[in-house]
Amino acid sequence: MRIAICAAFLAACIPATTIAGTYNLTVDKVTIDTGAFQKEGVGYNGASPGPVLRFTEGEDVTINVTNNLDVATSVHWHGLILPYQQDGVPTISYDGIKPGDTFTYQFPIRQSGTYWFHSHSGFQEPDGAYGAIVIKPKKREPFRYNREYVVQLTDSHPHAGARIMRNLKTMADYYNRQQQTLGDFFDDAAKKGFGATVDDRMAWGNMRMMPADIEDLQGFTPLINGKGPAQNWTGVFKPGERIRLRFINSSAMTYFDIRIPGLKMLVVNADGNNVQPVKVDEFRIAVAETYDVIVRPKTAKAFTIFAASMGRSAFGRGTLAPRQDVAGDTPALGTRPLLTMADMGMAHEGMDHGAMAGMDHGGMKKMDHSKMDEPKMDHSKMPKMDHSKMKGMDHSKMSGMKMAKPDPFYAPGSGLAPKAANGGKFLSYKDLKAQKPRYKHRQATREIELRLTGNMERYIWSINGKKYQDDEEIRLRYGERVRFKFVNETMMSHPMHLHGMWTILDTGAGKWNPIKHTISVAPGTTVYTETEVDAPGQWAFHCHLSYHAASGMFRRIVVEGGPKTADAGGHAISQSMAQ
């Protein structure tokens, strides 16, 4: 006992030593086999996806990255809080890694949770250059589990990324395989009337858009941990075990709706940050997001992990089973969704105009929608609005509105509004509440409006109507709290990713608002976030849809002031980077 007490006393007196780990990565040409096709791609340590890098909170890591390609490369540590010179974005963090060179990253691990890494050079990421990061916390987790698996999703396409970009610029709907047909026109005319159907088609034509413009890219094979649906990635369990599944969406362009028929999922972590547990049947994971869920299969049977693309053009499939080489039933992919006029911030498609006789449409034209997006608006009260009391409006005849509680992060009547299969619970951003507040809740010092804009016909994507190369960087001051107002004026969902700093998503929960690194902004919606500006240097900020970022939906953020640091060339940066 005396020895144990003395040992404890000495341990308390001796300063804690920091764990230091060294890791090695090579960037290589690899062959990717999806089960549906094979292609040459890019990977790490000879494979795609690359290895799962496992760190410990408080560790100082050294990662040697050797470029075996014949072109320059880079590695970005998605979601990690680190010095900007280590962030891995060419022209912003550093110059990249030349062919044959080795670059050594060194940074402290200041967090725990599920993250990922990928190339930020050209289209190497959609060509296969991605991997997972799992960080063990210093303290015990606030939830229990017996085993865990990484479930990393991607949308592997037979065409190389550069070829896809060329084709999209040549013809924006090049990969759209779900366009409406003449048969669809006659079906709609039978349901809605010939005149209403013609008016609808004319409206979409005038906007030079299509209701099927949900996925820019189709013809891909979804992969789970590098395996296609026919290859059936499998995680083994013992009945009664709690299994932590770390979902990562590493796709170039594809949102997935995730469910495991027969199992409820307990969501415990979003983008690496613990949340107050919420039980769901299904959730949507945007490109670049991560979600950790816990499931508990009690019977010795196979359960299918089913990942349906948001446009319902393809699905990924894996299995949880008591042994290898078994598979569960594969659910039906479901009916493809279509955009509605609500998604474009306009009239509700599918509305019975006869039932609207008492509704004053003239008054609608005078409504100033911009005033609805003021910072003082309490988003938490939006779901309580009783639309059924609106005179003359028959919501039962609105094709888009079938949810009992509309999701405020989707336009009312949206064709993309999440709906769980068989009427179950579908996760909403509104369900996410921080396990513990990361920052003191305070008023933002200023607001910056970012309008997400684009031209689908020319395949140009932008912020505030300007492409990356045509606009100035966004300048922030160290120590301020900035409120970002995202207004999505396009028909696409955009997962917006801020490097180097956390994003506080305003769901109306105050100090319990969730902390994320990627925020999905649905069509026709306005979303607010806040950021504590606590990382000096310069950072990338962009839509994480690969071909949208490459087309211009990208900005550089410069944080002025704060502690002295150094730029990528080792030069000191003092209180103002602006001068």
Question: How many CB atoms are closer than 10 A to CB 486?
Answer: 21
Element (H, E) at 283: strand 282-285
pLDDT in the model for residue 173: 78
pLDDT in the model for residue 355: 29
pLDDT in the model for residue 335: 84
SS3 letters across 144-174: CCCEEEEEEEEEECCCCHHHHHHHHHHCCCC
pLDDT in the model for residue 187: 61
Render pLDDT for 542-572 as a digit per residue (tens, 0 to 9). 999 999 999 999 999 999 998 865 443 333 3
> Average pLDDT of 336-344?
72
Our separate counts of H helices and E strands in the chain read 6, 32
Let me know: does 244 contact 292? Beta carbons within 8 Å.
yes
pLDDT in the model for residue 415: 77
Average pLDDT, the chain: 83
Element (H, E) at 73: none
Query: Does the pLDDT of residue 352 top 70, yes or no?
Result: no
Q: Which residues contact 519 (CB under 8 A, 6 or more apart)?
A: 486, 495, 496, 503, 505, 527, 529
The one-letter code for the residue type at 429 is: Y
Element (H, E) at 460: strand 460-463
472 beta partners: none
pLDDT in the model for residue 199: 60
> Average pLDDT of 295-310?
97
| pLDDT cut 90: percent of the chain above it | 67
pLDDT in the model for residue 407: 76
Given pLDDT bands bounded at 50, 70 and 90, which one contains residue 361? very low
> Average pLDDT of 505-523?
96
Within a 13 Å sphere around the CA of 70, how many CA atoms are in the beta-carbon half?
1
Render pLDDT for 183-225 as a digit per residue (tens, 0 to 9). 555 566 677 777 765 666 565 555 556 666 788 999 999 999 9
Kindly report whether the peptide bond that precedes residue 239 is cis, defined as omega within 30 degrees of 0: no
Supply the pTM of this predicted model: 0.82
Question: Could you write out the DSSP letters of every residue in 105-141?
Answer: EEEE----EEEEEE--STTTTTTT-EEEEEEE-SSPP
Within a 13 Å sphere around the CA of 427, how many CA atoms are in the beta-carbon half?
29
Question: How many CB atoms are closer than 10 A to CB 138?
Answer: 10
Render pLDDT for 233-287 as a digit per residue (tens, 0 to 9). 999 999 999 999 999 999 999 999 999 999 999 999 999 999 999 999 999 999 9
Within a 13 Å sphere around the CA of 366, how many CA atoms are in the beta-carbon half?
4
Q: Which residues contact 30 (CB under 8 A, 6 or more apart)?
A: 40, 41, 42, 43, 46, 47, 48, 128
Query: Does the pLDDT of residue 34 top 70, yes or no?
Result: yes
Render pLDDT for 455-506 as a digit per residue (tens, 0 to 9). 878 899 999 999 998 989 999 999 999 999 999 999 899 999 999 999 999 9
Query: Does the pLDDT of residue 390 top 60, yes or no?
Result: no
Render pLDDT for 46-90 as a digit per residue (tens, 0 to 9). 999 999 999 999 999 999 999 999 999 999 999 999 999 999 999
Q: pLDDT higher for 179 or 124?
A: 124
pLDDT in the model for residue 410: 82
Look-up of token digits 């089913």: 306
Report which of 260, 265, 286, 287 is spatially closest to residue 277, judged by C-alpha positions: 265
